[in-house]
Amino acid sequence: MNFPTAIQSGFRNYVNFKGRATRSEYWWWALFTLVIQAAATFAFSDLGDLLSLAVLAPSIAVAIRRMHDTNHRGWWMLFPIVNLVLSLRASDAGENRFGPPPPPRSLS
């Protein structure tokens, strides 16, 4: 999944806590939120706070779906070290208890 597709998916599925998110979707989303929050905070600190609130629900949803992709419950995202280790793991190749793997996205 490429950067624009990951961002679109993050906003499109901002309240979808079911299903799975690929490793690339999760990390592109993390990069996106880091960059926009840093830029907004640099410009105006209140704008950075507002953007943090705006991306909170999508960030939680992407993190939960990433945990599902490694065949773990979303609650594991509450433990920082475990969350990092699980988010770095490869996805389950086949279907797991949270559903089939995400379909491949085109690069166009």
Per-residue pLDDT of 43-89, as tens digits, reads 887 888 888 899 999 999 999 999 999 999 999 999 989 989 999 99
Whether residue 47 contacts residue 40, with contact meaning beta carbons closer than 8 Å, is answered with yes
d(CA 14, CA 62): 8
Residue 65 to residues 43, 49, 108: CA-CA distances in angstroms? 32, 25, 24
Task: Answer yes or no: is pLDDT of 104 > 80.
Answer: no
Whether residue 69 contacts residue 21, with contact meaning beta carbons closer than 8 Å, is answered with yes
Q: What's the average model confidence in pLDDT over 28-40?
A: 92
Residue 88 to residues 19, 48, 62: CA-CA distances in angstroms? 18, 27, 14
Locate the domains of the chain by residue range. 3-88
The better pLDDT of the pair 84, 102 is held by 84
